[in-house]
C-alpha cells in the first residue's frame, strides 16, 4: 500500500490537522519536565566546592607541623693538605680520590737538608755543654784565687799591724810603715779582684754554681734547636690528619719544590658528616635546637636518614660574604633571607654521602597550624 502526497498548488492553502499540532507541542512540553526531574545537579554544584574547601581547611589546620626546605646540602670537613717545611718532593704515595686513613704517608720531601741541620744542632748542643763545664772550672779557679788572696791579705794585715805597733812605741820611724802599707793595699786590691772574678763566674752559671749542665740557658737553647731539627726532619713525611678521601692532587708531582704552607691537595673527611639546611627566616620561629629532623638525600631518595637540629646560624649567609650586600640607592626590594641550620645524623649511614650533595630536610616542630593558633 502506497500513499501519495499531492503538492499544493500555488495560491491554495491546506488545513493543518490537530494531531500534527499536538505532535509538535509534545516535545516542547517534555523539555521543562525533564529539567525539573534533575535536582541533584544543583546539590552537586554546591556540595563539591564545600567538600573541597572543607578538605583544604582540614589539611591546612592539621598541617604545618613539619618545616621543610630543599635548599640543603651534605657537608663534610675539608682539610687543606700542605707541608710545614719547604723542600723538594721525592715520593708521592697517593692517587686522586683515594681513601686514606689517619697517619698514612701522603708524600715525602727530601730529608737530606734536615738531617744536616739535625747534625749541626747536635754539635751545637755538645759545644754548649762543654762551655758550661768550662764555666764551672772557671768558677772553681776564681774561688781558689779568692781564697789565696784572702790569705795573703791576712798576712799583710798582720805585718802592717806589727810595724805600726813598733812605730807607735817609737822603736821604728814612721817611714818604716810605707812598705807594709803598700803591701797591704796590694793584698786588699787582689782580694777585691778575686771577688769580682767569682761573681762573674757565678753569673755565667746563671747565678747558681751548682746548676746542672742541661739546665743552663745556653744548653737549653741548644736542646730546643735539636728538638726543632728533629721535628723538621719528621715533617719530611706528610701524613693524613684524619680518615677521608684525598683529592685535587694534580699539582703534586715528584721533583716539584714545595714552599712551606702551600696547599697542595685537599682531604675530605668521611667522619662527622652533617647537613646544612638553609631555611627561610619566616620558618625559623618554629625551629629549635634538639628537634628531630628527617633528611632525604637526592642520591638515595628512598632511604631517608634521621637526624637532630644541633645549631642555628648566627647570621644569614650574605652577612659572611666577603662584601656584605648594602643598598643605599633607594631601589630596595625585600628578599626573604635564609639562615643555615645544622642537622647532625643520629647514626652512621649506609648511604655513601659526599660533600655537596643535595638534600631535602624536614624538621618536626611538634605543633600543627591548629596548635599554633590555639597557643596564640
Task: List C-alpha distances in Å: 313 to 76, 230, 338, 370.
Answer: 17, 43, 10, 28
Structural contact between residues 268 and 241, judged by C-beta atoms closer than 8 angstroms: no
- My answer on whether 353 and 216 are in the same domain is no
pLDDT of residue 371: 61
Strands in 104-171 per DSSP E: 105-109
Give pTM, 2 decimals.
Answer: 0.66
Condensed to tens digits (0 to 9), the pLDDT of residues 259-314 reads: 999 999 999 998 888 999 999 988 888 899 999 999 999 888 777 889 999 999 98
8-state DSSP, 261: T
Q: Are residues 124 and 227 in the same domain?
A: yes
**Is 275 within 8 Å of 357 (Cβ atoms)?**
no
Residue range of the domain that includes 255: 83-110+236-262
Asked if residue 287 is part of any domain, the answer here is: yes
Residues 288, 344: one domain? yes
177/92 same-domain check: no
Give per-residue pLDDT as tens, 101-152.
999 999 999 999 999 999 999 999 999 999 999 999 999 999 999 999 999 9
Closest CA to 95 of 84, 86, 106: 106
Could you tell me the CATH number of the domain that includes residue 256? 2.40.50.100
Q: How many domains does the chain have?
A: 3
Q: Are residues 106 and 131 located together in one domain of the fold?
A: no
For residue 307, the domain's CATH number is: 2.40.30.170
Q: Quick check: is 338 in a domain?
A: yes
55 lies in some domain: no
Please check whether residues 123 and 214 belong to one and the same domain. yes
Biggest distance spanned by C-alpha atoms of the chain: 206
CB 160 within 8 A of CB 209: no
Grid cell 563539591 in the structure block, residue: 48
If asked whether residues 137 and 217 sit together in one domain, one would say: yes
C-alpha span between 52 and 16 (Å, rounded): 56
- The verdict on residue 13 lying in a domain is no
Confidence of residue 37 (pLDDT cuts 50, 70, 90): low
Shared domain for 193 and 293, answered yes or no, is no
Q: Are residues 247 and 136 in the same domain?
A: no
Does 119 lie in the same domain as 215? yes
Q: Is the domain of 134 the same as that of 223?
A: yes
Contact 81, 223 (CB under 8 A): no
- Tell me the residue ranges of DSSP E strands in the chain: 66-75, 78-81, 87-92, 98-100, 105-109, 237-239, 244-247, 257-258, 265-269, 274-280, 292-297, 305-312, 338-345, 358-364
Q: Is residue 315 part of a domain?
A: yes
Co-location of 150 and 286 in the same domain: no
Amino acid at each position: 500500500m502506497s500513499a501519495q502526497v499531492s503538492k499544493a498548488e500555488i495560491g491554495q492553502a491546506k488545513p493543518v490537522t490537530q494531531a500534527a499540532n499536538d505532535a509538535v507541542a509534545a516535545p516542547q512540553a517534555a523539555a521543562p519536565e525533564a529539567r525539573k526531574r534533575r535536582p541533584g545537579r544543583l546539590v552537586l554544584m554546591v556540595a563539591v566546592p564545600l567538600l573541597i574547601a572543607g578538605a583544604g581547611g582540614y589539611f591546612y589546620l592539621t598541617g604545618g607541623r613539619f618545616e621543610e626546605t630543599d635548599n640543603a646540602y651534605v657537608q663534610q670537613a675539608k682539610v687543606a693538605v700542605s707541608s710545614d717545611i719547604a723542600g723538594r718532593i721525592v715520593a708521592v704515595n697517593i692517587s686522586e680520590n683515594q681513601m686514606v686513613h689517619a697517619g698514612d704517608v701522603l708524600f715525602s720531601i727530601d730529608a737530606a737538608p734536615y738531617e744536616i741541620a739535625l747534625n749541626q744542632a747536635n754539635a751545637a748542643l755538645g759545644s754548649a755543654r762543654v762551655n758550661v763545664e768550662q764555666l764551672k772550672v772557671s768558677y772553681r779557679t776564681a774561688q781558689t784565687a779568692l781564697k789565696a788572696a784572702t790569705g795573703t791579705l791576712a798576712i799583710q794585715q798582720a805585718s802592717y799591724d806589727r810595724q805600726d805597733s813598733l812605730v807607735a812605741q817609737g822603736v821604728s820611724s814612721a817611714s818604716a810603715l810605707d812598705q807594709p802599707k803598700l803591701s797591704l793595699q796590694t793584698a786588699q786590691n787582689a782580694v777585691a779582684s778575686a771577688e769580682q772574678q767569682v761573681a762573674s763566674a757565678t753569673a755565667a752559671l746563671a747565678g747558681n754554681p751548682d746548676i746542672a749542665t742541661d739546665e743552663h740557658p745556653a744548653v737549653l737553647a741548644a736542646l730546643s734547636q735539636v728538638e726543632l731539627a728533629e721535628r723538621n726532619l719528621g715533617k719530611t713525611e706528610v701524613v693524613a690528619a684524619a680518615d677521608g678521601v684525598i683529592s685535587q692532587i694534580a699539582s703534586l708531582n715528584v721533583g716539584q719544590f714545595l714552599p712551606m704552607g702551600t696547599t697542595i691537595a685537599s682531604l675530605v673527611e668521611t667522619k662527622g658528616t652533617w647537613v646544612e639546611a638553609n631555611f627561610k627566616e619566616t620558618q625559623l620561629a618554629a625551629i629549635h635546637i634538639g628537634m628531630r629532623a628527617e633528611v632525604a638525600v637526592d642520591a638515595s631518595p628512598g632511604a631517608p636518614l634521621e637526624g637532630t637540629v644541633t645549631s642555628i646560624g648566627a647570621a644569614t649567609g650574605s652577612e659572611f660574604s666577603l662584601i656584605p650586600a648594602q643598598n643605599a640607592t633607594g631601589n630596595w626590594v625585600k628578599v626573604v633571607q635564609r639562615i643555615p641550620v645544622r642537622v647532625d645524623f643520629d647514626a652512621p649511614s649506609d648511604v655513601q654521602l659526599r660533600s655537596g650533595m643535595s638534600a631535602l630536610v624536614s624538621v618536626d616542630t611538634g605543633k600543627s597550624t591548629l596548635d599554633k593558633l590555639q597557643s596564640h
